[in-house]
């Protein structure tokens, strides 16, 4: 199997690449993995250090909007795992153009090329945020898309394009929609690594409003295992929700992080809430459980403790990133 992974130097993408090359989850093992990544602020080749010497890995720095480059790579590709995306909600609120270009135009470029060259499978990795906010219960895959941020709107647009390429052209596309990921190598502007690294540095942590917003948490390894199950056996044209089964308000998450880091609530700074902040996300993962046998394997308490340890032990990885960002 010859595979192209877009965004493979980012948080989730690099974890998928490391896992698939090390046969971490069983299933199909690629004979070659090409990683296409633009190496924007959130992507780093250091995320691939563990597999850098694997002869099956080829890294290409480039933009998924570059049709000539994409055509060259996909012409010799059987499976595309599309993870490249602009993904930070706050950044999308202050400037949406990059999100539209990468998430919508970039996805359309990949789909066009995949159609032209007859790829055998195209897995489009998306987010639960496309569904909007839900007060009670959980979304299944039939829930209409009602995104509320420029980020989630751009992802919803890319999801609909992927679906359309299957329905119109028969392109063998599967879509996955995951809940909030956490784990090692996550860029320190996201809430868990931001809070952990701030606490390690002796700084305060910024909690939006009263911290009532609820998210479901999924370890990155569980997410990547689920994606690989879809690569191996997902039905073309289908969407699969991937949830972690651990719903926490931001205040509850903050309390856990303070406890693990040995800090108190005096280190919390309440800040003005995000514009259009969705109150609660929750996905129903029954479909991927029944069809592909997926269930989260990493207990959140254990996964969070291991993640905090990783950031304690890898200051050389995240301190330069925070210095560059000024956070």
Q: Which residues fall within 8 angstroms of residue 303, CB to CB, at 6 or more apart?
A: 182, 183, 219
Exactly one of 37, 78, 112, 128 is catalytic; name it. 128
Q: Which residue's entry shows tokens 């829930």?
A: 143
Three-state secondary structure readout of 12-61: HHHHHHHHHHCCCCCCCCCCEEEEEECCCCCCCHHHHHHHCCCCCEEEEE
Instruction: Please give the structure tokens belonging to residue 243.
Output: 């949830």
Instruction: Mark whether 128 is an active-site residue.
Output: yes
Q: In this structure, how many other beta carbons lie within 10 angstroms of the beta carbon of residue 116?
A: 13
Under a CB-based contact definition with an 8 Å cutoff, are residues 46 and 40 in contact? Answer: no
Q: Which residues fall within 8 angstroms of residue 231, CB to CB, at 6 or more apart?
A: 27, 28, 79, 81, 121, 123
Report d(CA 228, CA 240) in Å as an integer: 12
- Long-range contacts: 129-133, Cβ < 8 Å, 24+? 129/89, 129/155, 129/278, 129/281, 130/155, 130/156, 130/159, 130/177, 131/177, 131/281, 131/283, 132/278, 133/278, 133/279, 133/280, 133/281
Exactly one of 86, 129, 159, 221 is catalytic; name it. 129
Q: Which of 29, 51, 59 is nearest to 231 (CA)?
A: 29
Instruction: Mark whether 131 is an active-site residue.
Output: no
Q: Which of 281, 280, 283, 278 is nearest to 242 (CA)?
A: 283
Exactly one of 131, 151, 165, 311 is catalytic; name it. 151
Instruction: Mark whether 151 is an active-site residue.
Output: yes
- The alpha carbon dihedral of 52, 53, 59, 61 has a sign of positive
Q: In this structure, how many other beta carbons lie within 10 angstroms of the beta carbon of residue 9?
A: 25
Q: Give the CA radius of gyration of the chain.
A: 19
Q: Which positions are catalytic?
A: 128-129, 151
């Amino acid at each position: 199997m010859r595979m192209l992974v877009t965004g493979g130097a980012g948080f989730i993408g690099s974890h998928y690449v490391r896992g698939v090359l090390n046969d971490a989850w069983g299933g199909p093992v690629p004979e070659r993995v090409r990683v296409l990544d633009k190496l924007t602020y959130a992507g780093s080749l250091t995320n691939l250090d563990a597999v850098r010497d694997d002869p099956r890995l080829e890294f290409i720095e480039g933009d998924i909007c570059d049709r000539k480059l994409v055509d060259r790579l996909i012409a010799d590709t059987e499976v595309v795992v599309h993870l490249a995306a602009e993904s930070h909600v706050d950044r999308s609120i202050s400037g949406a153009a990059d999100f539209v270009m990468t998430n919508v135009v970039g996805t359309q470029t990949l789909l066009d090329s995949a159609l032209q060259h007859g790829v055998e499978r195209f897995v489009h990795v998306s987010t639960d945020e496309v569904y909007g906010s839900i007060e009670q219960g959980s979304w299944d895959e039939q829930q209409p898309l009602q995104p509320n941020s420029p980020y989630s709107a751009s992802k919803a647009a890319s999801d609909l394009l992927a679906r359309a390429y299957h329905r119109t052209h028969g392109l063998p596309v599967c879509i996955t929609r995951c809940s909030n990921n956490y784990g090692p190598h996550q860029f320190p502007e996201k809430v868990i690594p931001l809070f952990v690294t701030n606490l390690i540095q002796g700084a305060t942590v910024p909690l939006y409003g009263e911290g009532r917003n609820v998210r479901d948490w999924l370890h990155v390894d569980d997410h990547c295992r689920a994606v690989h199950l879809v690569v191996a056996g997902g039905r073309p044209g289908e969407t699969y929700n991937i949830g972690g089964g651990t719903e926490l308000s931001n205040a509850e998450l903050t309390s856990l992080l303070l406890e693990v880091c040995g800090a108190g609530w005096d280190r919390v700074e309440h800040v003005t809430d995000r514009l259009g902040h969705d109150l609660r996300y929750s996905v129903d993962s029954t479909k991927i459980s029944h069809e592909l046998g997926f269930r989260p394997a990493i207990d959140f308490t254990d996964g969070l403790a291991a993640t905090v340890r990783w950031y304690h032990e890898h200051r050389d990885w995240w301190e330069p990133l925070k210095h560059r960002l000024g956070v």
